[in-house]
Each structure stands twice: as structure tokens, then as C-alpha cells.
């Protein structure tokens, strides 16, 4: 082959090889481009965007809570938060971050791991409610901490001089299950755990906003992206206006201090809660913002269970406070009328002897309530269960709001215990119970239990001439656009209650305060109080003291139920607390400071949570 032809052939071969090589390079580059753009999009797209733009969540201001006079009882105050975007974070800076935040390195490592597990791309909270020194340290060193940012949020504040622990409730960080169940929550968000904060969580929390900011290579903000044109403003939570009277609440809390029990005061016409207290309680302030872990542990391990709301969740025998309801049931069933008399010779004989407090002689229903005669009500319960059956009595007690939930807008309410035949069958076995298990129910003893809330609701039925109210702490919610929603459930008529029967029972309750066991401390100046004391037997310690009441007698504005556990007689323990609350409510001051001081100094018997 000629040399010229041979060179031409070599040149053609070289061109072909070069073309194949170039084509191969283009194929490889195109394949890599497809791989990065399609198959690795989820990883590299966020990185690309974060080189210039960061999307930040803007948390809304939580709704405010006011008392019935419009005074703020729960607000928000500024709180400094340190955040992290895990994908941008340099793990080698953990020692520096721990030093700047004055936090143990192990804790920082755990928090970073938690954030990475939640989301590599999303910004989430690392440290909440840090002090200004830590906030300043981070701000000055952001250039050394890629992926770390800071923001100013709100935390709950409590400006009133009443604690209201159980009524208001507290906030805690959402769990993973709660985050998975709702698109509203992200890592580190707070959610209402009890009280109003829990029941009205959907209203109070508001809606999140979104902010886009331009950032440099170190992750530092350079300002709003596109002038904030793409930003979405957060929606503030709705404000809640309650029926609570902070002054009255403070009196109740002060008088319960150092004791175990609960108090409920409400408007018997509307059901609006004026005061609701349970002791022991806890300090909301120490559960706001960054969790005080030592305090949280102490609250949860306290044998007296400060988180337990005894005002709505305890189930103690109500004792003689049920006698007015018993009287109304007896009159409705035709067992007695106002003139029916029973002779009390110190007790009632039925198989065994059921003792009374003393020999009352021959008395009618009004006198039986005034003097709290057990014999009268032993006899009446005997008549009820033998002539009509236990379940009739149970249903009629339910109509007063006992043994059923009131559906108050607070968490933790229980039904209490008003037994029927099926209850006794489960408790003792079919046909393994009888009259001896039922007759004590006539004086509020035995297998029954109620909360102060239920007893306040029951006495309101009597005060309100036969209408049962639904208790409610919130009166209205106010939206950001100015709209207002009124929350006031209509009272429900208990149709079997008759005016004449109610008048007789009301008279007996008035006499119980002016002439009976309530006269020492509940009979206050210028305001007619009607009520009934109760002393519930406690086989494991000192008796529990009860007092239910309402005032004024002729046109009730307020009903109060007080329970003190292991305190002794209701007339000398529970009634004085109600008396002081009435003095403050109607006169704006305490008229008998010696009684007030007596209750401040009063110390019930030690409470054994394992036996009570």
C-alpha cells in the first residue's frame, strides 16, 4: 500500500477513535447529570437551594387567656431559641457549640442526633429558652457554626397573683407520634398537656408562617429573599376569655395551701366557673420555656401527686352533702312529703343498727336536713330500694350531675361513682350483695364517690330551681379578625323536680347554715347562705370534710363545693373556706380575719396516698 494511503487510513482511524472518546465523555457526563438531577434530586436539590435561600418556619404567638374582668392571666414573653439545620451542620463544631451554649457536650450530641433523625433538611429547635448571654455567644459566632441559627420565640408568662395550675394547665414538647399524626407540629413544638391549654389547643396554637431569607456560604442571613414577596405571615392564636375571678381564686388557693383537697365555685345560673383549685398544685412558671428537669422529676415523684386535679378527678364519698338530693328523690317518689315524720332514737334498726349522730326525736325532711339526721335517710333509702329498686335511685342521682361527666372544658374529669345493680354485680358478684351494701348510700357513704365539681353542679340544681348547668371555664373566644364566639351551654331542666319540693329542701339548707352545723363559719353578714356540711367516713385515717352551698338564698349568684381530705368535720374545716370565699365575693374583703388566719394555720392529719 502506498505510504500516502496508509497515512490517510491512520488519520481516519484516529478521528474515529477521537470521536468515540468524545462521545463516551458526553455519554458519561450526561448520565451523571441524569443521576444527579433525577436519582439524587432529594439530596442535592436542598443543598443547592440552601446555598442561597433558606426557608424558615415562623411560629405564631399563642393565644392569650383573660379572666372575667378582662385582666390577663396567661400571656407570652420573648424567649431565645437556638436552631439547627442538620444537613448544613459541621459535626466537628460540636465542642465549640457546647462551649458557647454552656451545655454538656453529650447533651449537644444527643440533641443533634435527634434533629438529624427528625429531618436532615428542616430547621428545628436545638435549645429552647436560653439566656441572653448564650444567645449573644451564638450570634457572634454564627460564622464558625454552619447550620446553626437563632430566633426569638414566645414562652408562656403568668402575670396574675393566682397560680391556677390545674385550670390553665401546662405545655410540653410534642412527641413523635403527635408529629406524625398532625401536620401542624414539628420537632420542638409545644402542645397543651392539661387544663385549658390542652382543651383549646387547636384554637390557642395559631398557624405557622414561612419566611425565605438569603444566606451566604456560611449560612448567615443576608436579608429577606425577593424582598419578602414569598413570605407567609403566621396566624396568631385566638384569645380566650374565661369566667374566672382571680381574686376569688387567690383566696381559695391560699386557704387550701398545705392541705389536700379541692374547691369549685361557679355561677349556678350559667355554669361559669368562678374559681377552681386543687392542692397540692404546681408552679406553671417552672414548666414554661426550657423544662426544669429537676422540678419536673420532683412533681412526678411526689406521693401527693400535684399534677392530679382533685377538683374534677377525685372520687371521695360525699357524706351528708347528698341528703338534700335524697330528700328531693324521696318526695318525687311519694315516699315522703314536707310533713312526713320519722322518729330518730339514735339510729335505724334494719338487720343491724345503723347509728345516727344523736337522738333527734320526731322530725320532718326540713328538720332532717337542718340537723343532718342519719336515721331519716337510712329509713328513706330502705324505702327507695325496696319499693322502687336501686337503679331508680341511681338514675335520679345522675340527674343532679353525680356519677356522670359534666363535660367541663378541662382535662382529667372522671364520672365518679353512683352505683347501680350492675356495679354491685361486678364488684361483689351476682346476688352477693344486698340491703346492707345499699342503705349507707342514703347518707353519702359506702360504694359512692364524687368530686367537688360534681357536688357544685348538684347543689346548683337546687339553687337554680331544678335546672342543671354544664360547667364551663371559658365564656368566649376572640378571633384575630374581630369575630367572637360565645360559649354558654343552656341549662337543662330536670323535669321531675317540683317547685314545692325544692322550696322545702332549700329551706332546710338555709336552716343548716343559720341553726345547724354550718352556723359557726358559713353564716356570713348581710348575705343569706344555704348549704349542707358533710363528714365522710375514712376507714384509713381521719374523716374527709365537705361543704356545699349557694348564695344569696333568694337569688343565687354563686355556688361553692369544698372538699378537705383527712381534715375531720366539714363544719369546722370545709365550711370556713366557703365562708371566707363568700365574704370576699360579696364584700370585696375578709370580714373575719381571725377565721381566715385559723384556716391558714390549720393542718389536717398527714395524708397517706396509699390508703386514701
The answer to the question of residue 608 being in a domain is no
Which are the contacts of 212, defined by CB distance < 8 A and separation ≥ 6? 53, 54, 55, 56, 224, 225, 226, 228, 230, 231
Name the H helices within 534-603.
570-587, 593-601
Q: Which residues of 181-231 form beta strands (DSSP E)?
A: 190-192, 209-215, 221-224
Query: Per residue in 124-181, pLDDT tens?
Result: 889 988 889 998 988 888 888 888 888 888 899 999 999 999 999 999 888 889 988 8
pLDDT of residue 233: 85
The answer to the question of residue 609 being in a domain is no
The answer to the question of residue 290 being in a domain is yes
Mean pLDDT of the chain: 89
pLDDT of residue 230: 82
Joined together, the cell numbers standing for residue 393 give 335511685
Number of domains in the chain: 3
Query: Per residue in 445-493, pLDDT tens?
Result: 999 999 999 999 999 999 999 999 999 999 999 888 888 888 888 899 9
**Distance (Å, whole) CA 170 – CA 509:** 39
pLDDT of residue 124: 86
* Chosen domain end from 212, 242, 272: 242
Q: How confident is the model at residue 249 (pLDDT cuts 50, 70, 90)?
A: very high
The answer to the question of residue 319 being in a domain is yes
In the predicted model, is pLDDT for residue 226 greater than 60? yes
pLDDT of residue 122: 83
* Same domain for 403 and 309: yes
Which one-letter DSSP state was computed for residue 407? -
- Which residue from 94, 176, 83, 185 is spatially nearest to 125, judged by alpha carbons? 83
* Same domain for 259 and 189: no
The answer to the question of residue 201 being in a domain is yes
* Chosen domain end from 242, 271, 286: 242
The answer to the question of residue 156 being in a domain is yes
pLDDT of residue 17: 61
Query: Per residue in 41-78, pLDDT tens?
Result: 555 555 454 457 777 788 899 999 999 999 999 999 99
* Same domain for 58 and 29: no
Q: How confident is the model at residue 287 (pLDDT cuts 50, 70, 90)?
A: confident
* Same domain for 369 and 318: yes
**Distance (Å, whole) CA 255 – CA 584:** 13
The answer to the question of residue 267 being in a domain is yes
State percent of the chain over pLDDT 70.
Answer: 90
* Same domain for 274 and 236: no
Q: Are 556 and 463 in contact (CB under 8 A)?
A: yes
**25: domain range?**
3-39
Joined together, the cell numbers standing for residue 445 give 357513704
Q: What is the CATH number of the domain that holds 94?
A: 3.90.1310.10
Selected residue with higher pLDDT from 400 and 431: 400
**Distance (Å, whole) CA 5 – CA 561:** 117
* Same domain for 235 and 321: no
Q: Are 467 and 494 in contact (CB under 8 A)?
A: yes
* Same domain for 471 and 328: yes
* Same domain for 60 and 19: no
Q: How confident is the model at residue 6 (pLDDT cuts 50, 70, 90)?
A: low
Q: Are 306 and 278 in contact (CB under 8 A)?
A: no
* Same domain for 351 and 469: yes
Which one-letter DSSP state was computed for residue 133? H
- Which residue from 329, 412, 339, 419 is spatially nearest to 377, judged by alpha carbons? 329
Backbone angles phi, psi at 252, to 5 degrees: -60, -45
- Which residue from 543, 582, 591 is spatially nearest to 561, judged by alpha carbons? 582
**Distance (Å, whole) CA 550 – CA 110:** 56
Considering Cα of 324, then 564, then 585, then 313, what sign does the dihedral take? Answer: negative
pTM of structure: 0.86
The answer to the question of residue 71 being in a domain is yes
Cβ count near 386 (within 10 Å): 12
Tell me the mean pLDDT in the region 207-215: 83
Query: Per residue in 79-131, pLDDT tens?
Result: 898 998 888 888 999 999 999 999 899 999 999 999 898 888 888 889 988 88
* Same domain for 483 and 372: yes
* Same domain for 167 and 121: yes
**Distance (Å, whole) CA 580 – CA 257:** 14
* Same domain for 312 and 193: no
Q: How confident is the model at residue 3 (pLDDT cuts 50, 70, 90)?
A: very low
Q: What is the CATH number of the domain that holds 402?
A: 3.40.710.10
Which are the contacts of 519, defined by CB distance < 8 A and separation ≥ 6? 513
Amino acid at each position: 500500500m502506498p505510504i500516502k494511503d496508509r497515512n490517510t487510513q491512520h488519520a481516519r482511524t484516529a478521528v474515529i477513535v477521537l470521536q468515540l472518546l468524545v462521545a463516551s465523555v458526553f455519554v458519561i457526563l450526561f448520565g451523571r447529570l441524569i443521576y444527579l438531577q433525577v436519582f439524587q434530586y432529594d439530596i442535592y436539590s436542598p443543598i443547592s437551594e440552601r446555598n442561597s435561600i433558606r426557608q424558615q418556619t415562623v411560629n405564631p404567638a399563642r393565644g392569650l387567656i383573660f379572666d372575667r374582668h378582662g385582666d390577663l392571666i396567661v400571656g407570652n414573653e420573648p424567649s431565645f431559641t437556638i436552631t439547627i439545620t442538620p444537613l448544613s451542620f459541621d459535626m466537628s463544631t460540636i465542642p465549640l457549640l457546647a462551649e458557647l451554649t454552656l451545655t454538656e457536650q453529650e447533651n449537644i450530641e444527643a440533641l443533634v442526633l435527634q434533629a438529624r433523625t427528625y429531618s436532615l433538611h428542616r430547621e428545628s429547635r436545638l435549645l429552647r429558652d436560653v439566656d441572653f448571654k448564650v444567645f449573644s455567644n451564638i450570634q457572634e459566632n454564627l460564622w464558625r457554626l454552619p447550620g446553626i441559627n437563632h430566633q426569638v420565640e414566645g414562652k408562656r408568662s403568668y402575670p396574675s397573683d393566682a397560680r391556677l395550675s390545674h385550670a390553665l394547665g401546662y405545655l410540653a414538647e410534642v412527641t413523635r407520634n403527635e408529629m406524625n399524626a398532625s401536620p401542624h407540629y414539628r420537632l420542638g413544638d409545644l402542645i397543651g398537656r392539661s387544663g385549658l391549654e390542652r382543651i383549646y389547643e387547636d384554637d390557642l396554637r395559631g398557624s405557622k408562617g414561612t419566611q425565605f431569607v438569603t444566606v451566604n456560604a456560611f449560612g448567615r442571613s443576608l436579608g429577606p429573599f425577593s424582598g419578602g414577596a414569598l413570605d407567609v405571615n403566621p396566624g396568631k392564636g385566638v384569645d380566650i376569655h374565661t369566667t374566672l375571678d382571680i381574686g376569688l381564686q387567690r383566696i381559695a388557693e391560699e386557704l387550701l395551701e398545705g392541705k389536700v383537697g379541692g374547691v369549685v365555685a361557679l355561677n349556678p345560673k350559667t355554669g361559669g366557673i368562678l374559681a377552681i383549685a386543687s392542692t397540692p398544685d404546681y408552679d406553671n412558671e417552672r414548666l414554661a420555656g426550657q423544662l426544669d428537669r429537676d422540678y419536673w422529676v420532683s412533681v412526678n415523684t411526689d406521693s401527693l401527686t400535684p399534677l392530679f386535679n382533685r377538683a374534677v378527678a377525685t372520687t371521695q364519698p360525699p357524706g351528708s352533702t347528698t341528703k338534700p338530693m335524697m330528700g328531693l328523690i324521696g318526695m318525687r317518689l311519694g315516699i315522703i312529703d314536707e310533713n312526713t315524720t320519722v322518729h330518730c332514737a339514735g339510729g335505724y334498726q334494719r338487720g343491724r343498727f345503723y347509728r345516727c349522730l344523736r337522738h333527734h326525736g320526731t322530725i320532718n325532711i326540713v328538720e332532717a336536713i337542718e340537723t343532718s339526721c342519719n336515721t331519716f335517710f337510712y329509713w328513706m333509702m330502705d324505702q327507695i330500694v325496696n319499693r322502687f329498686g336501686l337503679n331508680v335511685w341511681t338514675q335520679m342521682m345522675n340527674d343532679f350531675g353525680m356519677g356522670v361527666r359534666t363535660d367541663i372544658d378541662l382535662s382529667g374529669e372522671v364520672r365518679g361513682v353512683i352505683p347501680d345493680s350492675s356495679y354491685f354485680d361486678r364488684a361483689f358478684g351476682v346476688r352477693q350483695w344486698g340491703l346492707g351494701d345499699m342503705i349507707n348510700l342514703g347518707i353519702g357513704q359506702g360504694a359512692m364517690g364524687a368530686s367537688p365539681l360534681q357536688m357544685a353542679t348538684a347543689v346548683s340544681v337546687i339553687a337554680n330551681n331544678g335546672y342543671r348547668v354544664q360547667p364551663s371555664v371559658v365564656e368566649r373566644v376572640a378571633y384575630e379578625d374581630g369575630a367572637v364566639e360565645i360559649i354558654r351551654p343552656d341549662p337543662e331542666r330536670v323535669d321531675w323536680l317540683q317547685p314545692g319540693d325544692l322550696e322545702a329542701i332549700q329551706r332546710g339548707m338555709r336552716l343548716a347554715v343559720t341553726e345547724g352545723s354550718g352556723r359557726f363559719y358559713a353564716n356570713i353578714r348581710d348575705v343569706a347562705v344555704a348549704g349542707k356540711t358533710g363528714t365522710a367516713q375514712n376507714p384509713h385515717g381521719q374523716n374527709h370534710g365537705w361543704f356545699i352551698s349557694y348564695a344569696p338564698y333568694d337569688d343565687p349568684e354563686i355556688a361553692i363545693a369544698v372538699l378537705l381530705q383527712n381534715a375531720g368535720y366539714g363544719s369546722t374545716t370545709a365550711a370556713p373556706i366557703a365562708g371566707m370565699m363568700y365574704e370576699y365575693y360579696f364584700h370585696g374583703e375578709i370580714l373575719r380575719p381571725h377565721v381566715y388566719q385559723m384556716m391558714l394555720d390549720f393542718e389536717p392529719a398527714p395524708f397517706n396516698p396509699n390508703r386514701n
